[in-house]
């Protein structure tokens, strides 16, 4: 298989961006300390209205072909130039998600998410 030309790769990246039909907010992690705490994790900065592609994880039963949606796990597609770290959080579909892994692909970033646990759960 031949390597893609720069123009082909750029065209694929543009197509990927155009297919991101969701919006999310990225909560940027920081760690602070004071007289009473050491290394308190906070997410004081929000990057709002980030264009993304959101999808719940699915499991396919190999025997029956039945598809089950995993509501506690999801995958997010982001533009390659979008900043995000594995300590950030994401707000999408009225849910807070923890970043569970980031993969830089040739056309977009794929961010694996897991639903954040709250005191009420």
Domains, in order of start, for the chain: 6-30+40-115 (2.40.10.370)
**pLDDT beyond 70 at 111:** yes
Over residues 73-107, the pLDDT tens digits come to 999 999 999 999 999 999 999 999 999 999 998 88
Judged by DSSP in three states, 87 sits in: coil
What secondary structure, in 3-state letters, does 20-57 show?
A: CCEEEEEEEEEEECCCCCCCEEEEEEEEEEEEEEEEEE
* CA 24/CA 43 separation, integer angstroms: 15
Over residues 22-67, the pLDDT tens digits come to 999 999 998 877 777 777 778 878 889 999 999 999 888 888 888 8
């Amino acid at each position: 298989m031949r390597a893609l030309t720069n123009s082909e790769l750029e065209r694929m990246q543009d197509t990927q961006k155009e297919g991101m039909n969701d919006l999310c907010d990225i909560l940027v992690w920081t760690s602070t300390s004071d007289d009473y705490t050491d290394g308190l994790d906070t997410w004081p900065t929000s990057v709002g209205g980030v264009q993304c592609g959101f999808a719940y994880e699915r499991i396919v039963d190999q025997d029956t072909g039945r598809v089950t949606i995993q509501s506690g796990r999801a995958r997010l597609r982001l533009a390659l130039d979008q900043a995000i770290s594995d300590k950030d959080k994401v707000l999408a579909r009225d849910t807070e998600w923890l970043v569970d892994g980031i993969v830089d692909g040739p056309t977009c970033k794929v961010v694996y998410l897991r639903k954040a646990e709250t005191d009420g759960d």
